[in-house]
Amino acid sequence: MNEHQRSILLHSASRFSPPPGVKLSYGTAGFRADASLLESTVFRVGILAALRSIQTRSVTGLMITASHNQESDNGVKVADPSGGMLSQHWEPFADALTNAADPNTLLQLMDDFATKEKISLEGAYGGEVLLARDTRPSGVFLAEAAKQGITSIMGVSATDMGVMTTPQLHWMVRSRNNGMEASEHNYYDQLSSSFRCLMEYIPQGNRNNIVNDKLIVDGSDGVGGEKLEILKKMLSDLSIDVRNRGDGVLNEGVGADFVQKEKVVPRGFGPVDVGFRCASLDGDADRLVYFSIQSNSNKIVLVDGDKILSLFALFIKEQLNILTEEENGKVNKSYQARLGVVQTAYANGASTHYLKQLGLEVVFTPTGVKYLHEKASEYDIGIYFEANGHGTILFSESFLCWLEGKNNELSSTSKGSEQPKAALRLLAVSKLINQAVGDSLSGLLLVEAILKHMGWSMLIWNELYHDLPSKQLKVKVVDRTAVSTANAETVVVRPVGIQDAINAETAKYPQGRCFIRPSGTEDVIRVYAEASSQEAADSLANSVARLVDRFLGFNATE
């Protein structure tokens, strides 16, 4: 690092001192805390995003959001050149950079890391970081801190994209690095045109089906509702009523996280909405759940991420079957796309059983989108969703190339058959779904198109399978690292003996399943239990929580 660069950094860093006694850790959500504590962190993540841009010679992104957290919180995370999350290899550096006590320590860390990773800090490469924020008031001053961090690295520019959803920023980073135009208008245009393509190829018999055209969407009083208002004007085949568009408090009694966890009607909805298809976005629009309101009740029928995954998997498997079926009914083995479904241990056991009954390959990863996304990328088509409504579909480049070729071949030889339509549907899905990250707007449009294609109401969709009753608890501990797990967090390897005790307890309950895992953010051990009845699931969870308390010495709390 030359003296000029050192001088710039020392001057900038001296204006953003880390709050005393605060130590943050970079996780799936990036850094997240009360907004008043984050100015120094966001400045330093700006530096990190700039360094990543220089190293990869690509555009990176920086998003200021706390997603489904309360409005007083905020957070910051980096979008890698792929459009995905920051490389896990960089996470320890992110922690060290953020928690450096003073500017000189900060510079020494940067020098050491730049040398190790062969990153030039001489301003030779004109890096670029796309910067965006959600609708939180604190995002304004935090965005300024981010700009200061980004531009303190010589030769790197900060392009302020303004208020956006998290998935929009990730989509733009991915598109820019793939040589495509990447404005907000381009995003809306790709989603709307792909949606229209899917609607055009709905089977003739399902065009006048039982799906009610009206969809009511809870925007969580965040950025998603605001953006959906723009997008819906480009959709002629779907009537969308957007509620909670910013008049109330962000994520307070509204949003996908609230609806999924509490299973009650969000603010702004009531008895007049009984019978309609409803959906909830979260604060930064990367989660999506559906629900319907029960008559004379504040309760809802929840259709969560597991059911969304099942709907997507069923549709894609159907299209692949059409593509590979020959006229005599035999399967064409010239190209068999590998379709994989990726879940975590938190996926309801009934969903896993249903997917396996379809003949699908189902694999598990540890909890966290970064693990799900990485595993899904190993397939020709990889689908992942968490029950909380965050997920997407990934298509390999080799499969898309094959599909393009197959589409050209079928267009000339199989006119009028379903095969060219199946190829076009899959191509449209690959453009409609946001392959960079979970996106509630693109996911919502894909759900709507598939329901139309199937001719299904929400009731029929929800009847694909019935969730097993479940219960989650958490147990406070002094040190969560006292518990370590294996097999995608389903088996405890330490402390010795607790897994045998959990197995013995689980065996007492019909359809029992239970696992524990350390939290990634706080000193608690999380307990998840399933059983054939809610009473049994509650009992199993409480029994295992007591085991954890016995082994580690603290009391369970919900």
Query: Checking DSSP bridges between strand 470-476 and strand 300-303, what pairing results, if any?
Result: unpaired
**Residue 521 is labelled as binding a ligand:** yes
Structure tokens at 448: 């709507």
CA distance 137 to 305: 30
Return the closest-CA partner of residue 53 out of 187, 179, 171, 158: 158
**Distances in Å between the alpha carbon of 250 and those of 237, 241, 300?**
29, 18, 21
Q: Which residue has the tokens 């298509």?
A: 395
Please state, in angstroms and rounded to a whole number, the distance separating the CA atoms of residues 519 and 167: 25
Looking only at the bridges linking them, the beta strands covering 59-64 and 239-243 are: unpaired
Is 160 among the annotated ligand-binding positions?
Answer: no
| Residue 253 DSSP symbol | S
| Given 12, 40, 53, 67, the catalytic residue | 67
286 annotated ligand binder:
yes
Q: Decide if 269 contacts 293 (C-beta within 8 A).
A: yes
Q: How many CB atoms lie within 10 A of CB 393?
A: 25
- The secondary structure of 281-315 as a DSSP string is E-TTS--EEEEEEPTTSSBEEEE-HHHHHHHHHHH
β-pairing verdict for 470-476 and 157-163: unpaired
67 is catalytic: yes
The verdict on whether residue 80 carries a ligand-binding annotation is no
103 is in an annotated binding site: no
Instruction: Confirm whether residue 67 is marked as ligand binding.
Output: yes
d(CA 79, CA 161): 14
DSSP letters along 79-143, please? E-TTSSBPPGGGHHHHHHHHH-SSHHHHHHHHHHHHHHHT---SS-S--EEEEEE-S-TTHHHHH
Query: Is 526 a known ligand-binding residue?
Result: yes
519 is in an annotated binding site: yes
152 is in an annotated binding site: no
Residue 277 CA, distance from chain mean position: 22
Quote helix, strand, coil % in the chain, to nearest 5: 45, 20, 35
189 is in an annotated binding site: no
β-partners of residue 239 are 214
Among all residues, which ones are annotated catalytic? 67
- For the annotated binding site for Mg(2+), the residues are 67, 282, 284, 286
Q: Which residues are annotated as a binding site for substrate?
A: 386-388, 517-521, 526
Point out the annotated binding site: 67, 282, 284, 286, 386-388, 517-521, 526
